[in-house]
Homo-oligomer: A and B are copies of this chain.
């Protein structure tokens, strides 16, 4: 992990990671400021940034950052992927996983683990209400987010 910055004839390829810690089972963590700071530090004016969580049971997605909306999202995911269903991943006869966290895997893959955002004028290309959220489905846990920037 760590970080790397390589510049080749004006093109920059910058990798950086950071840690966040979720405090509850399901939680929304707005990582937009962290991603923005990495973009500014990299000094890339035009290009792309990717933010990915390096875990199978949390998501990284773009959504409006109003807190009540994540409660709606979390409730929706709970209706889609019900805690009380029977999952093979939670059956010790079929799986070597002891966490019983099938729902977290399924919710994470349904929403995805990463997003790509444009960079223009050194700024993230998001509209005013778009935020990059790490959605925790199996917390509390420490989580790592990988940020990759390419551009000029």
Contacts and interface: CB of A to CB of B under 8 A. Distances in A.
Contact of A127 (B45, B55, B62): B55
Given A4-B120, A95-B68, A105-B64, A56 B88 contact: no
Given A48-B50, A52-B116, A88-B71, A76 B127 contact: no
Interface stretch (A19-27, A31-39, A106-114): A106-114
**Contact residues of A: prevailing secondary structure:** mixed
Chain A interface size band reads: 35 or more
A66 B94 CA distance: 10
A11 interface: yes
Given A80-B80, A88-B71, A116-B114, A54 B125 contact: yes
